[in-house]
Structure 1
C-alpha cells in the first residue's frame, strides 16, 4: 500500500469517526485520544493490517498531519492511542522474538519495578556560530544529537544550544502475571512510558504491584558490555496505551443497584453460609476453613494506640495439609482408555491442565484441572492378591471395604483409607475393565539419523503391524547399538515368515539369518543391521511396555499382546485347577503393565512369582476372542483348552475388590497428583484413588479481592517475598527499590503455598511484616519502610509426608516459632474421605451430566463478592461492645483458669487479640458498626476448632498452646524434663558428673516416661545436657 494512500485513508477514518472526540479532548486540555482498533478494522481491514505491521510509520505520519483535520492540532503534540487489538496480537512476554520488533503488540504483566518520573528532551534548537542559522534537531534514542552540518553555510562545529523542549518519561519493568511457582521463572520486559501516560492521574497505574495491559511498538536498544556496545540487543515496548487489568480497591465502582444487593446480602441471616458456599464451590466441605478465609478477606479493624503504635487488623491463617500423591511411574487411566504416567500429565507444580480421566463409574468422566508436584516425600507401596501395586505418599487414600461384620445379604460398608492406615487383609476397590474410545492411530514421532545409513522406512503411526513387531521384540528380541534381532524357536518357525513380512512392510529392510542347533531342532535368529533402526527402537532395551502402546486403540494393543504372548507366553492344559494362559518374565513391573493392558478387554490376570496367569474361564475366552496367538502350535493348545473348560466352566462375577497381601516402605521420591473437581478421584494402575484440593482452595481465595496474589514458597526467586534493592544504571539511573510479593499485596491477601520452603532470609523479614505491617530495608544508601499490611494465607506440608495429630506443630513443619505464633488460626487440612459424604458431595454439586457443565455457580458471584468486600472495608468500622468483649473475656479466662504450676497453658494474649479481629470481621460482613455477642461466639468457635486440631495434648486431655505456637517443648515435655533432671541428679550422687545413658533410660521408663529417648534428644537441643563421650551424658 502506498504511503500517500495510507495517510489519505487514515485521515478519512479520523474525519468520519473521531474528529469530534479529538476536538473535545483538545478543548479539555488533553493531549491524546483513545481509538478502538476494532473500529478501524471494520472501516478498512487492509489499512488496519498495515498499521499492525508498520505502526511507527503510520502513526508518525498521521500525528504530524492532524492539522488537516483542524488548524489547532497543527501546533500541538497530539497522540492517537490504539487499544483493543486482535487476540493474536496479545503476546506472552516469554514468547517475544526478533520477528515482533517494529510491530504493534499487546502484553500483559505486573509492574515489578519503576523509575521516578523524569523529564526527557525531545527537541533541541541549535544556533550556527558562523551564520546564526537556527537548526531544530529531533531527539531520538538514548544519546543527545547535534547538527552534523549547517544547512545554510555548511559549518560543521561549534553549534550552540538555544532552547529545549521536554516531556515526562518513566521506565518500568513488567513481569508475566502468572502464578509464581517452581516450574518456570516468569519473564519480564522493559516498558517506556512518556507524556500523558505518566501524568499524575495515570502514574499510579504503573506503580509496582499493579497489573497492566500495554499496547505499544516493540523496539530494541543496544546492550553495553564493559563500556562497549554489544551486538546483542535489549528489547523494550514503546507504550502507546496503558490500561489496568486488575481493579484496585479505589477503582471498584459500586452502583446504586450493587449497593442495594450488598445491603440485602448483609441482612440475610444465611449470609455466612452463602459466603462459605461462594469460596471454591467446586471443593465441597471444609466449611470451617472457608468461613475463616471469608473473615480474613473482610478483615478486622486496625487500631492506632495513643503512643502511635499499631495493632493490626489483618488476619493470618495457616493450613497444614498432607500432599496425597503417587510416584511418577503410576499410570492414570484417561477417559478415552489411554494409560499415561502421572508425571507426564504436567511439567511443573500447580500447572493448569485439562485432561479427561476415567472414574470407574460406568461412562462418567472427570477432568483433571491442576497438576501437583512435590519433592522428597516418603513412600509406601501396597500390593494386592492379583499382583497389582500402587506407590504413593502415606496419606494417599484408597477405597477400602470396612472390616466389620455386616448383616446377611448386605455388603460391607466402604470407606476411604490412607495408605498408612491400610492393613494386610484389607480389600481395596479395583477395576475389572478399562473402556477404550480411541479410534485413530498414535503418531510415533520417530526421526531417522541418515548418516552413513541405507535408507529405511520410518513409520509415522503405530499401527497393528508395528505393534506386532514391538511385542515380539520385547519378548524374544534385543536391541543393540548397531542392530536389532530376535530368535524363533524350532517348534514355532511358522512365525518367522510372518514376522519377516511385517518387518519389511513397516521398515523396508531385510534380515540376515543365523542358525543355532538345539537338542530338538534348530532355532533361527533374524538380525537387522541398521544404526537408525537401533536408535529408534532403543526404548525396547528396557523391558517395559512402550508408552505408545498404552495410548493406542484396542486393535493395536491386541496385536502387541498377541505377538508378546507368542514370544514369552504359553498355554497350560493340565487339568482342573492347572489350566490357563501364562506369560513369563523376571521383571515384575512388566508383568503389571501387561496385566493392566489386559483390562482393556476385561481379562483378569494374577501374578504368581515370575508368571502372569489368566485362569478364569471367561477371561480365557476373552483372550481367545480379542487377542489370540499367531503360532500354530499355541493356537492348537488354546483351542484344546477352550474345549476342555466348557465342561466345568462356571460364570464368575468379575472381581471389583482385592485383598492386600504385602506392604512395602520405600525411600523418599518426587511425587505427583492431579485435581479432579467434583469427583475428586481417578484410576491409577487399575486401582481407584482419591485426591485433595488444598492448593486449589488457596488459589481461589487469591482471586476474590483486588491485588491478591498466589505464590509458591519454593518458586519465589529474585525479589522474593519482601523487597530488595537492584542496580540498573542504564535505564533507571542507579539503585532501584524492587517490591516483593508482600508489598505488592499491600491491603490485600497473599496466598503462599509450600510455606515451609520460603528462603530463610525472607522468613526472618516476614516477622516484621506479619506483626507491624511493614518491611524495612537499608541498602546501597536506600533506607525505606514499605507498607505490607497484607493478610497471609499460608499452606504447608508436614516434613515427614503426613500430618500426625499426636506431634506438636513445630516437629511437623519447618517454620520458625516466631512466625508460627503470628498466625491467628491454624488448621490441619486432612483429607479423610467417607463414601457417604462423597455421595452427598456429588448430589450437592452435580447439576448437569456433561463435563462441559462442570462449573458450579456460587450463591454470590465473584464480581459481587469483590464489591461486597470493598464496600464493607470502606464503609464499616465496627467497635467492640461490652457484651461481645465480656463473651471473649469469659472464654479466655475460662481456659486460662485451668492453668496450674507445670500444667499446659491453654491460651495466650495473642489469641485474645486474634479473637477480637475475627469478631470484628464477622460484624463487618453484616455491615454492623458494633461487634455483637453473636460475632464473638463465631470467633470463639473457629478459635476452638483451631485449638482442638493443633493444640490438643493427648496425654493430658488439655489444650497446650505450646503445641500450637511451635514452642521448643510442650508443657507435658517440660514436666517430663523436670522429672528426668531429678533422675540425673540422683544418679550423679552415685556415679559423678558423667553418668551412663542407659541408666537414665532405665529409671525414666520405670517412672512412666516411655518416650525417654525423645525427651533426652529435646534436652540436648535445648542445651540442658550434652554427651561428653559415647554412652554417657552430663548436665551443662
Structure 2
C-alpha cells in the first residue's frame, strides 16, 4: 500500500471515530491521541496487517494524517498511540527474539529499574561554512553524529545550527513471577519518550509496578571498550503505549464450576479448618499456625481516610522456632499458593535487595532506581526466611515497609517513595539457636522490639521431646514415605489460590457493633490486666497496633465465609489467635 493511501485511510478513520477526542486533546494541550486497535481492525484489516509488520512507518503516516486537520500552528508534532492490541501479538519477555525486530507487539511484566528523564537528540542540522549548504543528520545511536563530508567537497568542522530534542527514559521490564518456571527472570530494556515520560505517565511506571507495554523491537549495537562495535546487539522495546495493570489479580478467571466449589468451601461448617488442612498437608501439627496463615492469605481491608491516612489491610506473621520444626516448609508452601509471592533468605539479603537501591544505568547513563523484593511483591507476598541472620542495619529498613507500606529512598540524585503494599511472612530462630526451656520465650527472641511490634501475630514453634506427640509425628512422616499420596490436600492448590484471589479482590466486609464491642472489651482488658506488665511481654506491649491487628484478623475471618459483615464470631476467632500468641510468648519454653 502506498504512503498516500495509508495517510488517507488514517485521516478518514480519525475523522469518523476520533475527531471530538482530537479537538479535546488539542484544547488540553496534549500532544498525543490514543486509538483503539480493535476499532481500527473493524475499519480496515489491510492497514492493520501492515501496521503489525511495519509499525514505525504506519504510525508516521497516521501522524501526517493528523497534521492535515486544521490544528493550531503551535502544534508541530502529534503522536499517535495504540491500545488494546490483539492477544495474538503478546510476546512474553523471555520469548523476545531477533525475529520480532520491527514487529508491533505487547508484553507484560514488572518494572524492575527506572532511569532519570533525560533529553535526547533525535536530529541535528549543520551548516557548511564553505557553501552554506544545510545538512540534516539523524541521531540514531548513543554516539552524537556529525556530517563527515559536504557536496561541495569540504570535510569536517561543520557548524551546528539546530537540533531536535525529545525527553527520554529507560525502564527495565522483568517478566512477572507468575510466569516463572523456576528459572531466572528475564529482562528487556524499554525506551519511553515524549508524553510517556510526563509526570502523569511516570506514576504508572514506578519500580515494582506491573505494566503492559505496547511497542516494537529495535536493536542497539554494543560498543566495545577498545573502540568499534560488537557483533552482538541489545534488543530494546520502543514503547508506543504503556498501561498499568492496576489490579494484580485482574487476570483472575474463575469458571462457574470453580465458583460453586469456592462457595461450597465458604459456606461449609468450618471453612478455616477446611482450608488450613489443605495449606500444608505434608507437615504434621501446627494447627494454630496454619489457621493464622489461612487468615493471612485472605487478608484484611485496606482503608483510606478522608485526611489521606491509610490503614494497611495486610497481615504480617512471624514464626520463631527451633531448627527442623517445619517453619521453612510452611513458608515454601505459602510461596506456592500466595498471590505474586517472592521468597528470599535473610542470610544473603541486604537492605537494598529487600527495599530499593540506586544503581548505575548502563542503558541511558546516569543513575536509576532498582526495586527490591518488597517493592516487586507489591500487592502480593514477601516471604523472608532466616530473618534473624540479617544484620541490624539491614533489618531496620523493614520498619517503614511493614507499617507505612512505602519505601522512601534518597540517594545520589534520586528522591522517591515507592509503594510496597506487601504481606510479609517471616521466620527466625531463637537467640541461641534453640529455645531454652528454663527461660521466658520473649527473652529469647533475637529481634528488636520496634520490628517485633509491627508483626500482627508471632508464633513460637517449639520442638520439645514428648513421647506421645513424637510417636504420632513419626507415624505420620513414615506413612508419607510409604504412601506419598496421603499428603494430597483435600482442596487442590489451584482452587486454594483462586479462593484467596477471589476473597482478596471481591470481598470487603464491614465491622458490626457486636464485633467492635467484643474487640474493644478484649483490648481494654488486656491493657489493664497484668499480662502486659509481665517480664515476658515487655518486649511485645499491647498497643493500638494490636487493636488494628484484631480488626484485620476479624475481617479476614469474615472473608473466608464470603461475609458482608464482620460478626462477633469473627472477632472471637481473631481474639483466640492473638491470645494464643501472647500466652505462648509469656510462658517458659
Q: What TM-score does the superposition give when structure 1 sets the normalisation length?
A: 0.42
Shift of 1:195: 0.7
Find the counterpart in structure 2 of residue 888 from structure 1: 523
Rounded Cα–Cα distance in structure 1 between residues aligned with 2:438 and 2:35: 63
SS in 2 for 1:58: helix
CA distance in structure 2 between the aligned counterparts of 1:279 and 1:22, rounded to whole angstroms: 56
In structure 1, C-alpha distance between the alignment counterparts of 2:144 and 2:355, rounded to whole Å: 38
**Deviation, structure 1 residue 291:** 3.9
Measure the CA separation in 2 of the matches of 1:272 and 1:791.
28
Change (3 A) 1:70 1:808: farther
State the 1:939 CA deviation: 5.2
Is 1:944 the counterpart of 2:579? The answer is yes
> Can you list the C-alpha shifts for 1:40-83, whole angstroms capped at 9, x where unaligned?
33334343222212212222233234434556699631122122
Residue aligning to 1:766: 395
Mapping 1:283-322, distance limit 5 Å: 287-291=291-295, 297-298=301-302, 316-318=316-318
SS in 2 for 1:910: coil
Aligned-partner Cα distance in 2 for 1:884–1:315: 17
Root-mean-square deviation (Å): 5.5
Q: Does the Cα contact within 8 Å between 1:887 and 1:937 map onto a contact in 2?
A: no
Contact 2:387–2:428 (Cα < 8 Å) also in 1: no
What secondary structure sits across from 2:385 in the alignment?
A: helix
Give the match for residue 93 of structure 1.
Answer: 93
CA contact (8 A) 1:110 1:177 kept: yes
- Once the 2 structures are TM-superposed, how far is the Cα of residue 224 of structure 1 from its aligned partner? 2.6
Matches within 5 A, 1:142-153: 142-150=142-150
Distance 1:907 1:276 in 2: 35
1:721 matched to which residue of 2? 354
Tell me what 1:105 maps to: 105
For 2:186, the equivalent position in structure 1 comes to 187
Q: Residues 335-369 of structure 1, C-alpha deviation per residue, up to 9 Å, x if partnerless?
A: xxxxxxxxxxxxxxxxxxxxxxxxxxxxxxxxxxx
Given the alignment of the two structures, is residue 222 of structure 1 paired with residue 221 of structure 2, yes or no? yes
Report what 1:817 is aligned to: 447
What is the match of residue 751 of structure 1? 381
Query: Cα deviation per residue 1:161-214 (whole Å; 9 max; x = unaligned)?
Result: 333332221111111111598922111111111111112211111221211111
Aligned-partner Cα distance in 1 for 2:532–2:24: 73
Q: How many Å apart are 1:218 and its aligned residue?
A: 0.5
Q: SS of the residue aligned with 1:143?
A: coil
* Contact 2:440–2:536, Cα closer than 8 Å, also in 1: no
Look up the SS of the partner of 1:731 in the other structure.
coil
Taking the aligned partners of 2:415 and 2:342, their CA distance within structure 1 comes to 24
Contact 2:110 2:376 in 1 (8 A): no
Does structure 1 conserve the Cα–Cα contact (< 8 Å) formed by 2:115 and 2:367? no
- Show CA shifts across 1:257-314 (max 9, x none): xxxxxxxxxxxxxx9999987997995895554445656554799x99xxxxxx9997
Match of 2:506 in 1: 864
Q: Does 1:737 align with 2:369?
A: yes
Equivalence for 1:328: none
- 5+ long unaligned stretches in structure 1: 252-270, 305-310, 323-376, 379-393, 396-670, 672-691, 703-708, 952-958, 961-970, 973-1036
Residue 424 of structure 2 corresponds to 793
**Which structure has the larger Rg over C-alpha atoms?**
1
Q: For residues 444-463 of structure 1, what are the structure 2 equivalents within 5 Å? A: none
Structure richer in helix, relative to its length? 2
In the TM superposition, what whole-angstrom CA distance separates every residue of 1:78-98 from its partner, at most 9, and x where no partner exists? 122122223232111111111
SS of the residue aligned with 1:905? helix
Tell me how many residue pairs correspond in the alignment: 518
Q: 1:768 Cα shift?
A: 3.4
Classify 1:28/1:713 alpha carbon distance in 2 versus 1 (closer, same or farther; 3 Å).
Answer: same
Partners of 1:852 and 1:938 lie apart in 2 by 26
**Residues 299, 315 of structure 1: 8 Å contact kept:** no
1:825 Cα offset (Å): 0.5
Q: Quick one: distance in 2 between partners of 1:135 and 1:282? A: 75
Structure 1: how far apart are the matches of 2:167 and 2:147? 24
Tell whether the 8 Å contact from 1:137 to 1:146 is kept in structure 2 after alignment: yes
Question: How much does 1:816 deviate?
Answer: 4.8
The CA distance in 2 between the partners of 1:769 and 1:291, in whole Å, is: 22
| Secondary structure, aligned partner of 2:177 | coil
Residue 923 of structure 1 deviates from its aligned partner by 8.8
Question: Residue 115 of structure 2 contacts residue 170 of structure 2 at CA under 8 Å; is this kept in 1?
Answer: yes
Q: Residues 943 and 274 from structure 1, CA distance in 2 versus in 1: closer, same or farther, beyond 3 angstroms?
A: same
State whether structure 2 residue 210 is matched by structure 1 residue 205. Answer: no
- For 1:761 and 1:37, the matched residues in 2 are separated by 50
SS in structure 2 of the partner of residue 947 of structure 1: helix
In the alignment, the residues of structure 2 paired with residue 279 and residue 294 of structure 1 have an alpha-carbon distance, to the nearest angstrom, of: 14
Does the 8 A contact of 1:769 with 1:789 survive in 2? no
User: What stretches of structure 2 of length at least 5 have no aligned partner?
Assistant: 251-265, 280-286, 463-471, 477-485, 559-565
Report how far residue 762 of structure 1 moved.
Answer: 7.2
8 Å CA contact 1:275, 1:860 repeated in 2 = no
C-alpha change, 1:244 and 1:770, in structure 2 (3 Å) is: same
CA distance in 1, matches of 2:267, 2:531: 30
| Cα pair distance change 1:810/1:81, threshold 3 Å | farther
Please show how residues 12-27 of structure 1 align to structure 2 within 5 Å. Answer: 12-27=12-27
